[in-house]
Amino acid sequence: MSPDMKAWLAIAGMALVTYLTRAAGLFLSSRMNLSPRGEAFLGALPGSILTAIVAPAVLAQGTPEALASAITVAVAAWRKNLPLAMLAGVVAVYVLRLILN
């Protein structure tokens, strides 16, 4: 078997396993009865996981990036518009890098 074929089989296998774990999770969660407290806990997980992943990376980059991240969060909270917040963050990091570096 050629190396290219092995790579494609590995990719297909990983895609299948990823799909099956997600489908099984949805299947099982649709059959569970959660309390309101359990639902609130699961609803808060994506935000907390994202924060735990992003915060160390942002703070390790430097002052312009940390300030731009704060601006992005502020615009997202103020305007409730994710594309606008992303644009504000990109512009902010560009301008802050010009000013502070």
pLDDT at 10: 95
- In whole angstroms, what is the distance from residue 71 CA to residue 98 CA? 16
- Write out pLDDT tens, residues 1-29: 888 899 999 999 999 999 999 899 888 87
Q: What is the largest CA-CA distance in the chain?
A: 56
Tell me the torsion sign for CA atoms 65, 71, 73, 76: negative
Q: Where are the domains of the chain?
A: 1-32, 45-101
pLDDT tens readout for residues 69-99: 999 999 999 999 999 999 999 999 999 999 9
Residue 35, sorted as left (phi over 0), alpha (psi -120 to 50) or beta, turns out to be: beta
Straight-line distance from the first to the last Cα atom of the chain, in angstroms, rounded to the nearest whole number: 52
